[in-house]
Amino acid sequence: MRLTRLYVDAPLDPGGLLELPADAAAHVARVLRARDGDPVVLFNGDGREFESRIETVRGMRVAVAIGAAHAIARESPIALTLLQCLPRGDRMDWIVQKATELGVARIVPLVSRRSVVKLSATQAESKVAHWRAIAVAACEQSGRNRVPTIDAPRGLDEHLGAIGAAGMRFVFDPDASPQAAPAARADAAAPTALDFAIGPEGGFEPQELDGLRIAGFHGVRLGPRILRTETAALAALVWLQTRFGDLRGA
């Protein structure tokens, strides 16, 4: 039986007792129907997980006895940042979930010139909270003990204007030369940090691709077919993890 894993946004001290926050307690009591003494794993995103036990379930109130901490390495050796131009509808939810499972460290939602989705500041704030909850649930499910960062949405030009110098960078582009850029070759040294950009449904404009190249992004083509933006994000992530990360040799 798989152990229940619960994220809590609180300091965790082995030997201590924690009253679960209302939403986590309701999930444990009502959905999981947990009982006193049931084992549970807690994590708070600091990289460790805590072997714990339900102390008491009283109505919707749940107390957990925090047990031993274990630092378990399930993070990618590369700090992968997905620069994702906002797709329509709820496709970003799907991208956040799958990218978290596949080990992304940070997601930056971008608005580019052909982006259809425009968010007000209030909408952006509630979207980020929603995507963060999806990332937390994906960490609970996939065993990750670090939750990826999800930035506030911003313009592509604004992001490139503030980007630092470190790490390897790729822009996924169906019109990139099929000849792999030197940095993308299988024998290239694995970086410690890697940013990769995926365009919106209508793709990047040529000036945006120029801006990305000037900022050090190498163009990569994922085969001869045009993928939907959400398919491209996942295919790119698997390609990167296979070439440089923790799917290498899998």
By CB under 6 A, name the binding residues for ligand SAM. 172-175, 198-199, 201, 203-204, 221-223, 225-229, 232
Q: Which of 160, 165, 168, 213 has its CA nearest to residue 194?
A: 168
Minimum Å distance from CB 173 to ligand SAM?
5
The smaller minimum CB distance to ligand SAM, of residues 42 and 220, is found at 220
Tell me the pairing of strands 154-155 and 149-150.
unpaired
The smaller minimum CB distance to ligand SAM, of residues 40 and 198, is found at 198
The smaller minimum CB distance to ligand SAM, of residues 133 and 227, is found at 227
Q: Ramachandran region of residue 130, left (φ > 0), alpha (ψ -120 to 50) or beta?
A: alpha
The smaller minimum CB distance to ligand SAM, of residues 5 and 94, is found at 94
Minimum Å distance from CB 162 to ligand SAM?
21
Minimum Å distance from CB 86 to ligand SAM?
12
Minimum Å distance from CB 215 to ligand SAM?
15
CA distances from 57 to 18, 51, 63 (A): 12, 18, 7
CA distances from 173 to 158, 199, 217 (A): 20, 8, 11
Cα separation of 156 and 151, whole Å? 13
